[in-house]
């Protein structure tokens, strides 16, 4: 090789690699999922093995580190690339439903999923849930009293010692939307203002809340059961508390799956949806490190996994929560950016 | 020297059109695509200045980015000069360690720091609870952000300083040393000769810091780029507001680029017939000081990486499982980086030459590319999705094509500009002779200009390669299903995977990039072969 033919070499090299990188055709399905890769990938690989359908996956990151798959789905909506969206909460699927970006399909395996966790018209189906829990660092809290509910975030005793994830992202948005729905705007806005006053730390994600609690940076924080389960398995000195079991109940968040309208592989997408909504997937995810809560009562779970019938579940209507969430989101975003929020609004409930 | 070549204007126009296609088409698509009917409030264009908290955030973010850029230049220049003038084994080892932070996206380095200097981090456990609390306080603060980013990005400056110092004609330095003390030669001769590279390095560090979102989120430092990101993340899809908040960042970057241009003009063009080789640019205490800096910065840069790799190796299962899953991603990473850097170089060589011949016009026509580098990745990425995800362009969108377009839109500017700076150093007499004897522009480029500028051109390719290899925030938005690269895999795994798994993935990334750095060291050999 000499300098004289260097550009030619470079061109040949680029073209060769370009051709090598071009897409291979086969029977396949494209799934976008915001369920953590470490938990969702084994399930999808199992589907691949059992059906010979190649699954091409796009995973999401923790909330604040990329724009999120929801926006990619919206950006691609004119010409969808995904066949299935498997969301780690019920409300982001609702956003797609509200924008008419999904095709109704009732999975053949979903008959025994309780009616509260699936759409009557088949536009979404829920399974394998997580709950919003309090994660406590036992070393920081010691033998003293433990927090018991979300309103303990405002307790001066915990000033500067508690954490939540950025409420403009992820399941924290949904949790706040549920609180706004349950409490009404006035009380919920006061709650948000109180969080600032009590110097509650706002972490970048629920995973970061887990990290802050596990390492003792804060005494406790609100996070999801999968984050809490991972912290416990890692040997962190932590304890999980299901909040508000004496009051409004703990928020339960099933993962949900939808079939994308205009997806390129609809038939394979339906098969994948059948697989995801099956009892077997719920069983696998209950036994996985994420320790997800099965929605079907009779699915056997390991001793460390609680089922929804063992604690008081907050009563919510997920489609209503989605609407509240879309309404609240600009305000939550402003709050997260440090803007003050009005607290004297009329109660909208 | 002004070349009267009829093809010059057409070439410059082609560079401009390339920039428009790569950068402005996605922005227009984002604004006017059918995806949404966003409410466009013209007043939001000025929100960054009219709203006090945004104004404060913008000023604060500029100050932070300037702090990181100044820190990186302060540390990177002496280290770059030391690397260019030393062939000792110890220096080579520390040089490799110093360049390692270039392997990882700053976010992963910050994670490594959190594992080290957090309250329950390794250092905290070793030094006691009080020390851990103190280090945690520093890390999760603006000072911590500046420290993490400076250590992560200093190698950009030292790499460019090294490349420019290596291409200085040794005769000039030897002549200067006959009548001047070493300090004077360093300040009045060597530094001005390296000034274009130093200015470009500082600009790159500034722009990359200004657009960073993940590290400040992790360290809980409020920055302006996060407010742009939040307009296009999760439940928000507000393209107009995002662009309204992004344009001040672009404006600031253009202003800094203009300042760099003024600095650059104070530099000299002095490529001569003699390779500088390992000429000692630094002597006496200068050398000792630079060596001390190299050891400190290399150690600090290696600590978080060592922490990550250590976890990957020692945490049971993490390493093995991570390696199995990371192989496909490693292939994707290498594919994107090799093809991306090569495609960028194919554009950068003619574009850089044209820019070098017509500097003022070059600065104007390269503006779209500077915008691409400066815009937060989320804006550019979603724009690319809307612009290229059409039935007629599926052959681009469904494969590596969209990744290449995105990466070129983001990183072509520094590659073109590095090549341009290399061509700036060619003496006019060479070009005149080449024009007489070699005929067409293409023949001149291939037979004279390219061989004479090979070290800088190789540096441009390597810079492009490294920038693509460590890219996370651009690719993640539009990578084809199943086509994730290593940094993206590390980031998506980071959510709840065992720390060892993320660490092992980061470790593979380090190894792959270390191999790339060895390629860079090979460029010096190429230089000797071709000159």
Q: Where are the domains of chain B?
A: 42-316+335-530
Q: What is the pLDDT of residues B479-509, one digit of tens each?
A: 999 888 888 888 888 777 776 777 778 778 8
Are the beta carbons of B227 and A337 separated by less than 8 Å? yes
Burial class (CB in 10 A: 0-12, 13-18, 19+), B53: middle
Res A7 pLDDT > 60: no
Q: Are residues A229 and A258 in the same domain?
A: no
Most confident of A173-187, B214-228, B429-443: A173-187
User: Residue B455 has which token pair?
Assistant: 């070290």
Q: Are residues A330 and A238 in the same domain?
A: yes
Residues near B132 by Cβ (< 8 Å), separated by ≥ 6?
B117, B118, B119, B120, B121, B123, B124, B125
Q: Identify the domain containing residue A178 by its residue range.
A: 130-251+322-336
Q: Are residues A121 and A191 in the same domain?
A: no
Q: Are the C-beta atoms of B453 and B375 separated by less than 8 Å? A: no
Q: Are residues A93 and A172 in the same domain?
A: no
Q: Is residue A27 within 8 angstroms of chain B, CB to CB?
A: no
| Radius of gyration of chain B from its Cα atoms, rounded to whole angstroms | 23
Q: Are residues A204 and A327 in the same domain?
A: yes
- Which is nearest to B17 in space by CA: B312, B316, B368? B368
Asked, for residue A16, whether it belongs to a domain, the answer is: no
Per-residue three-class SS string for chain A = CCCCCHHHHHHHHHHHHHHHHCCCCCCEEEEEECCCHHHHHHHHHHHHHHHCCEEEEEECCCHHHCCCHHHHHHHCCCCCCCCEEEECCHHHHHHHHHCCCEECCCCCCCCCCCHHHECCCCCCEEEEEEEEEEEEEHHHHCCCCCCCCHHHHHCHHHCCCEEEECCCCHHHHHHHHHHHHHHCHHHHHHHHHHHHHCCCEEECCHHHHHHHHHCCCCCEEEEEHHHHHHHHHCCCCEEEECCCCCCCCECEEEEEEEEECCCCCHHHHHHHHHHHCCHHHHHHHHHCCCCCECCCCCCCCCCCCCCHHHCCECCCCHHHHHHHHHHHHHHHHHHHCCCCCCCCCCCCC
Q: Are residues A237 and A269 in the same domain?
A: no
Torsion of CA B343, B346, B351, B354, to 10 degrees: 180
Asked, for residue A343, whether it belongs to a domain, the answer is: no
d(CA A88, CA A61): 11
Q: Are residues A241 and A267 in the same domain?
A: no
- Which is nearest to B495 in space by CA: A66, A201, A161? A66
Among the partner-chain residues A14, A21, A234, the one whose CB lies closest to the CB of B346 is A14
Burial class (CB in 10 A: 0-12, 13-18, 19+), B328: middle
User: What CATH number did the domain enclosing A224 receive?
Assistant: 3.40.190.10
- Which is nearest to A291 in space by CA: A200, A228, A197, A218? A228
Q: What is the mean pLDDT of residues A54-75?
A: 79
Q: Are residues A76 and A142 in the same domain?
A: no
Length of chain B: 531
Q: What is the pLDDT of residues A280-295, one digit of tens each?
A: 999 999 999 889 999 9
Q: Is residue A77 within 8 angstroms of chain B, CB to CB?
A: yes
The CATH H-level superfamily of B42-316+335-530 is MetI-like (1.10.3720.10)
Q: What is the pLDDT of residues B248-266, one digit of tens each?
A: 888 888 888 787 777 766 6
Q: Which of residues 191-220 of B touch A (CB under 8 A)?
A: 213-214, 217-218, 220
Mean pLDDT (chain A, rounded) = 87
Res B34 pLDDT > 70: no
Q: Give the side-chain half-sphere CA count within 13 A for B339.
A: 23
User: Residue B469 has which token pair?
Assistant: 């290899």
Q: Are residues A293 and A222 in the same domain?
A: no
Most confident of A154-158, B183-187, B485-489: A154-158
Mean pLDDT (chain B, rounded) = 81
Are the beta carbons of A7 and B346 separated by less than 8 Å? yes
Q: Is residue A24 within 8 angstroms of chain B, CB to CB?
A: no
Q: What is the pLDDT of residues B70-108, one digit of tens each?
A: 999 999 999 888 888 776 778 778 888 888 887 778 888
Q: Is residue B519 within 8 angstroms of chain A, CB to CB?
A: no
- How far is it between the farthest Cα atoms of chain B? 73
Q: Which residues of A touch B476 (CB under 8 A)?
A: 61, 66
Burial class (CB in 10 A: 0-12, 13-18, 19+), A297: exposed
Q: What is the mean pLDDT of residues A171-192?
A: 92
The whole-number pLDDT of residue B1 equals 47
The whole-number pLDDT of residue A60 equals 84
The whole-number pLDDT of residue B273 equals 47
Q: Are residues A121 and A257 in the same domain?
A: yes
Q: Are residues A243 and A269 in the same domain?
A: no
Q: Are residues A237 and A271 in the same domain?
A: no
Q: Which of residues 203-232 of A touch B (CB under 8 A)?
A: 203-205, 207-208, 211, 214-217, 226-227, 230
Asked, for residue A216, whether it belongs to a domain, the answer is: yes
List the single residue in A with minimal CA-CA distance to B31: A75
Q: Which residues of B touch A336 (CB under 8 A)?
A: 230
Q: How do A84-87 and A252-260 pair as beta strands?
A: antiparallel
Helices B239-265 and B52-85 pack at an angle, to 10 degrees, of 40
Could you give the number of structural domains in chain A? 2
List the single residue in B with minimal CA-CA distance to A21: B400
Residue B181: which pLDDT band, with cuts at 50, 70 and 90?
confident
Q: What is the ipTM of this complex?
A: 0.79
Give me the residues paired with residue A58 across strands.
A32
Q: Which residues of A touch B237 (CB under 8 A)?
A: 71, 74
B509 or A130, which is more confident:
A130
Q: Are the C-beta atoms of B197 and B421 separated by less than 8 Å? A: yes
A62-66, B143-147, B366-370: least confident range: A62-66
The whole-number pLDDT of residue B45 equals 74
Among the partner-chain residues A13, A21, A336, the one whose CB lies closest to the CB of B399 is A21
Q: What is the mean pLDDT of residues A118-124?
A: 92
d(CA B361, CA B381): 28
Dihedral sign for Cα B93, B99, B103, B108, please.
positive
């Amino acid at each position: 090789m000499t300098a004289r033919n260097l550009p030619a070499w470079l061109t040949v090299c680029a073209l060769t690699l370009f051709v090598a990188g071009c897409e291979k055709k086969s029977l396949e399905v494209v799934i976008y999922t915001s369920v953590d890769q470490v938990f969702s990938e084994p399930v999808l690989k199992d589907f691949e093995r059992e059906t010979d359908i190649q699954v091409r996956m796009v995973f999401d990151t923790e909330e604040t580190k990329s724009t999120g798959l929801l926006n990619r789905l919206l950006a691609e909506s004119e010409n969808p690339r995904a066949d299935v969206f498997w969301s780690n909460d019920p409300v982001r699927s609702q956003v797609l439903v509200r924008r008419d970006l999904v095709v109704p399909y009732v999975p053949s395996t979903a008959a025994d999923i309780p009616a509260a966790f699936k759409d009557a018209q088949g536009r979404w189906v829920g399974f394998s849930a997580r709950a919003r829990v309090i994660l406590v660092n036992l070393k920081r809290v010691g033998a003293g009293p433990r927090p018991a509910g979300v309103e303990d975030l405002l307790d001066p005793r915990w000033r500067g010692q508690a954490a939540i994830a950025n409420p403009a992202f992820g399941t924290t948005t949904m949790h706040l939307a549920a609180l706004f729905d349950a409490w009404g705007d006035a009380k919920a806005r006061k709650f948000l203002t109180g969080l600032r006053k009590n110097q509650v730390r706002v972490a970048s994600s629920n995973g970061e809340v887990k990290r802050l609690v596990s390492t003792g940076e804060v005494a406790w924080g609100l996070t999801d059961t999968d984050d809490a389960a991972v912290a416990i398995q890692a040997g962190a000195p932590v304890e999980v508390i299901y909040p508000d079991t004496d009051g409004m109940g703990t928020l339960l968040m099933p993962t949900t799956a939808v079939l994308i309208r205009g997806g390129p592989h609809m038939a394979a997408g339906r098969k994948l949806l059948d697989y995801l909504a099956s009892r077997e997937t719920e069983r696998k995810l209950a036994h996985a490190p994420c320790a997800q809560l099965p929605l079907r009562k009779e699915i056997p779970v390991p001793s460390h996994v609680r089922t929804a019938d063992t604690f008081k579940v907050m009563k919510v209507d997920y489609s209503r929560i989605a609407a509240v969430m879309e309404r609240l989101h600009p305000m939550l975003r402003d709050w997260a950016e440090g803007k003050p929020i009005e607290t004297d609004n009329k109660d909208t409930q | 020297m002004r070349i009267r070549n009829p093809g010059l204007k057409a070439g410059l126009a082609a560079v401009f059109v390339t920039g428009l296609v790569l950068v402005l088409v996605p922005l227009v698509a984002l604004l006017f695509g059918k995806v949404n009917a966003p409410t466009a409030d013209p007043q939001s264009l000025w929100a960054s200045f009219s709203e006090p908290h945004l104004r404060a955030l913008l000023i604060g973010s500029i100050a932070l980015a300037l702090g990181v850029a100044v820190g990186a230049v302060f540390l990177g220049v002496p280290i770059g000069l030391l690397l260019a003038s030393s062939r000792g084994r110890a220096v080579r080892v520390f040089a490799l360690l110093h360049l390692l932070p270039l392997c990882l996206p700053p976010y992963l380095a910050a994670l490594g720091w959190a594992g080290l200097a957090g309250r329950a981090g390794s250092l905290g456990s070793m030094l006691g609870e009080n020390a851990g609390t103190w280090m945690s306080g520093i890390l999760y603060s603006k000072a911590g952000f500046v420290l993490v980013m400076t250590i992560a990005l200093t190698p950009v400056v030292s790499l460019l300083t090294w490349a420019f110092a290596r291409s200085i004609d040794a005769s000039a330095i030897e002549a200067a040393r006959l009548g001047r003390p070493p300090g004077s030669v360093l300040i009045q001769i060597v530094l001005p000769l390296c000034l274009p590279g130093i200015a470009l390095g500082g600009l790159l560090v500034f722009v990359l810091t200004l657009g960073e979102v993940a590290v400040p989120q992790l360290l809980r430092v409020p920055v302006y780029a996060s407010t742009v990101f939040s307009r296009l993340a999760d439940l928000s899809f507000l393209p107009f507001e995002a662009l309204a908040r992004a344009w001040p960042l672009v404006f600031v970057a253009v202003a800094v680029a203009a300042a760099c241009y003024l600095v650059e003009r104070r530099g000299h063009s002095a490529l001569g017939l003699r390779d500088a080789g390992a000429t000692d640019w630094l002597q006496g205490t200068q050398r000792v000081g630079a060596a001390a800096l190299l050891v400190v910065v290399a150690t600090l840069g290696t600590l978080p990486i060592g922490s990550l790799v250590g976890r990957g190796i020692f945490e049971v299962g993490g390493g093995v499982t991570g390696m199995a899953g990371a192989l496909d991603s490693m292939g994707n990473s290498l594919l994107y980086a090799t093809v991306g850097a090569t495609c960028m170089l194919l554009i950068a060589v003619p574009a850089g030459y044209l820019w070098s011949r017509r500097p003022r016009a070059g600065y104007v026509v390269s503006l779209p590319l500077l915008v691409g580098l400066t815009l937060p990745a989320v804006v550019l990425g979603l724009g690319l999705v809307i612009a290229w995800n059409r039935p007629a362009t599926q052959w681009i969108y469904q494969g590596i094509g969209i990744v290449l377009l995105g990466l070129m839109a983001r990183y072509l500017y520094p590659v073109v500009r590095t090549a341009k700076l290399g061509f700036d150093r060619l003496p006019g007499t060479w070009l005149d002779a080449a024009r007489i004897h070699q005929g067409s522009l293409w023949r001149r480029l291939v037979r004279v200009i390219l061989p004479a500028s090979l070290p800088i051109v190789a540096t441009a390719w390597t810079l492009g390669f490294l920038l693509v290899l460590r890219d996370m925030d651009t690719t993640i938005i539009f990578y084809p299903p199943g086509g994730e690269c290593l940094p993206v895999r590390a980031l998506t795994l980071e959510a709840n995977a065992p720390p060892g798994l993320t660490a092992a993935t980061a470790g593979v990334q380090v190894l792959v990039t270390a191999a790339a750095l060895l390629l860079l060291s090979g460029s010096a050999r190429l230089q000797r072969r071709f000159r």
